[in-house]
Amino acid sequence: MLHLPPQTGRLTLGPPYDPYGDGYIHRFDVEITDDGLTATTTATIGAFDLVRLDDFLYGLVDDWRGWDGVRCWHSLRRELVVDATHDRVRRVVLDITVQPGSVDPSWSARCLFEVEPGAQLAAIADEVAAWLGPRPSGR
C-alpha cells in the first residue's frame, strides 16, 4: 500500500491486481482523505500505457528547477487524475482528483499535496515505481 502524506491529507493506493488474468489491465483501489473527507474509487491502468505514473513522477523530478503550466497524468478512465505545478522556487503541488470512471462523473474529490521537488519527490517516485512493479516484457 502506498501512502502520500502531507500536513493533513493522505493518498492511499492499494495493490494493483489483474482482474482478467491477461496481464494487460490492472486495477487498484484509491483513497484520499483530508479534513474529514474520505473518497474512494477503483482506478484502471494498462500494462502498456505510454506513460506510467512512475515515469510521470520521474519526469517531474528531472525538471526539479521548474516548468510552466500544469503537467497531467490520469488513469485509463480518469478515476485518478494527477495535475502537477511548480512554483519555480521551492515546491511542487500535486493536485489529486479521485472520481468514478466516466467522462462526466457524478462526483469528484480533490486533495493538494505540497512536496519538495528534489529528494522528497524522488522518494515518492521510487515508492510508486516499487508499487507498480517491473515493466511488462515487450516494453
Q: How many CB atoms lie within 10 A of CB 129?
A: 17
Report how far apart, in Å, the C-alpha atoms of 33 and of each of 25, 28, 88 are: 26, 17, 28
pLDDT band with cut points at 50, 70 and 90 for residue 137 = low
> Which parts of the chain are beta strand (E)?
2-4, 10-13, 25-34, 37-46, 71-74, 80-86, 92-98, 109-115
pTM of the model as a whole: 0.90
What is the pLDDT of the chain when averaged over all its residues?
A: 89
Q: What is the pLDDT of residues 31-65, one digit of tens each?
A: 999 888 999 999 999 987 879 999 999 999 999 99
Which residues are bridge partners to 92 per DSSP?
86, 115
